[in-house]
């Protein structure tokens, strides 16, 4: 069974890498979209900040993932692997098509599907799932409101300044805000794989309590950091350019407000979607300048991809779990 656990942990770390390849693009999308940093420089800063996130904000989100989706006392290693396979498959398909879906919700959907296939609906942890769906609702709406508010304040206080001075000032500040958002991204998304690895260790009896070994934090943080470094440019382009063309002050507002919301979620143990958060703040920052600055057609396509993520990943998780069950 230890060998199966090792395979499961490797698959979890692959998912973390894929997460970095897709979701971590969120933390550098605006700084690239505003042309403050070149992509290579931006993803390097983001990779380091993503690695540091879990060490700064703790592991409350990992605890929610380990205990709050499917009953940890009943889920098996094979179900976890089936759920991970579903999540990775869904995330990979969406990344290929440049859709900035939430890998967090892919993971949750995959594990939910595996739990349903192996245990039924009665073993889902509905209190924990309530936290998840709270994040789904609050992240994009709150992100848009925060983005509008932050951008509005900047416009109010800097309206009489010369555009060149404003762009230069916030261009420099945006490097800090991008690193801040990456830090909070690592604090939230980086913990989800940690929760899965702990669940794997618990399911095969290698640990007696759902506690977080230090090596798990290091391994998951490193996998996400590497995924960020090699991240998907198609997703960066969609968020940083296609949704709305941002000026540096808008990018600063989007990253700062999105990071603040993720920091609160990480502290409360709510596994929020960084994709939802940053897209909401980008849309809010664009709309604060003028409503037509946002390409609402692209935004609708992104929202559609969000809505189908949990059902799609759950369906694949169910399929992979049944497939694994045929051979074990």
Pairwise CA distance, residues 34 & 30, whole Å = 6
- Residue in this structure with the two tokens 């039924």, named with its chain if needed: 120
User: Are 195 and 62 spatial neighbours (Cβ–Cβ below 8 Å)?
Assistant: yes
Q: State the pTM of this model.
A: 0.84
Measure CA of the first residue to CA of the last residue in the chain; give whole Å.
12
Domain residue limits at 246: 2-325
Q: What is the pLDDT along the chain (328 residues), one digit of tens a residue?
A: 789 999 999 989 988 887 777 665 566 666 666 666 777 777 788 888 888 988 999 889 999 999 999 999 999 999 999 999 998 898 888 777 767 677 788 899 999 999 999 999 999 999 989 988 888 788 888 888 888 898 889 988 888 888 888 888 888 888 898 889 889 988 888 888 999 999 999 999 999 888 889 999 999 989 988 887 776 454 455 444 444 556 788 888 888 998 998 998 999 898 887 777 877 887 787 777 666 655 555 566 667 767 888 999 999 999 999 999 998 8
- Residue in this structure with the two tokens 């879990």, named with its chain if needed: 54
Token code pair at residue 282: 């980008």
What total of structural domains would you count in the chain? Answer: 1
Compute φ and ψ for 124, nearest 5 degrees.
Answer: -70, 145
Distances (CA, A) of 85 to 76, 198, 276: 14, 17, 23
User: Are 72 and 246 spatial neighbours (Cβ–Cβ below 8 Å)?
Assistant: no
Residues in the chain: 328
User: What pLDDT is attached to residue 34?
Assistant: 62
Pairwise CA distance, residues 180 & 61, whole Å = 18
Beta bridge partners of 124: 70
Phi and psi based region of residue 268 (left: phi greater than 0; alpha: psi -120 to 50; beta: remaining): alpha
SS (H, E, C) the chain: CHHHHHHHHHHHHHHHHHHHHHHHHHHHHHHHHCCCCCHHHHHHHHHHHHHHHHHHHCCHHHHHHHHCCECCCCCCHHHHHHHHHHHHHHHHHHHHCCCCCCHHHHHHHHHHHHHHHHHCHHHECHHHHHHHHHHHHHHHHHHHHHHHHHHHHHHHHHCCCCHHHHHHHHHHHHHHHHHHHHHHHHHHHHHHHHHHHHHHHHHCCCCCCCCCCHHHHHHHHHHHHHHHHCCCHHHHHHHHHHCCCCCHHHHHHHHHHHHHHHHHHHHHCCCCCHHHHHHHHHHHHHHHHCHHHCCHHHHHHHHHHHHCHHHHHHHHHHHHHHHHHCCC
User: What pLDDT is attached to residue 32?
Assistant: 67
């Amino acid at each position: 069974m230890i060998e199966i656990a090792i395979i499961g942990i490797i698959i979890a770390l692959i998912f973390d890498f894929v997460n970095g390849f897709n979701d971590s693009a969120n933390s550098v999308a605006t700084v690239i979209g505003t042309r403050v940093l070149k992509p290579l420089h931006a993803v390097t800063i983001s990779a380091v900040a993503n690695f540091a996130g879990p060490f700064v904000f703790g592991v409350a989100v990992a605890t929610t993932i380990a205990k709050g989706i499917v009953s940890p006392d009943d889920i098996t290693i094979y179900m976890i692997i089936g759920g991970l396979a579903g999540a990775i498959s869904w995330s990979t398909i969406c990344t290929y098509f440049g859709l900035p879906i939430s890998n967090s919700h892919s993971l949750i959907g995959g594990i939910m599907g595996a739990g349903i296939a192996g245990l039924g609906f009665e073993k889902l942890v509905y209190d924990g799932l309530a936290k998840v769906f709270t994040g789904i609702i609050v992240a994009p709406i709150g992100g848009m409101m925060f983005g509008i508010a932050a951008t509005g304040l900047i416009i109010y206080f800097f309206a009489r300044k010369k555009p060149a001075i404003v762009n230069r000032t916030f261009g420099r500040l945006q490097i800090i805000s991008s690193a801040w958002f990456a830090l909070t991204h690592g604090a939230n998304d980086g913990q989800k794989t940690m929760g899965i690895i702990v669940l794997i260790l618990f399911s095969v009896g290698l640990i007696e309590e759902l506690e977080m070994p230090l090596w798990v934090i290091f391994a998951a943080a490193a996998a996400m950091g590497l995924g960020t470094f090699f991240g998907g440019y198609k997703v960066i382009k969609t968020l940083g350019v296609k949704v709305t063309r941002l000026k540096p002050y808008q990018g600063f507002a989007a990253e700062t407000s999105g990071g603040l919301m993720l920091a609160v979620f990480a502290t409360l143990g709510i596994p929020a979607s960084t994709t939802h958060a940053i897209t909401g703040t980008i849309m809010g920052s664009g709309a604060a300048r003028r409503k037509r600055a946002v390409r609402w057609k692209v935004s609708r396509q992104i929202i559609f991809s969000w809505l189908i993520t949990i059902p799609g990943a759950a369906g694949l998780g169910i399929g992979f779990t049944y497939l694994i069950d045929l051979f074990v």
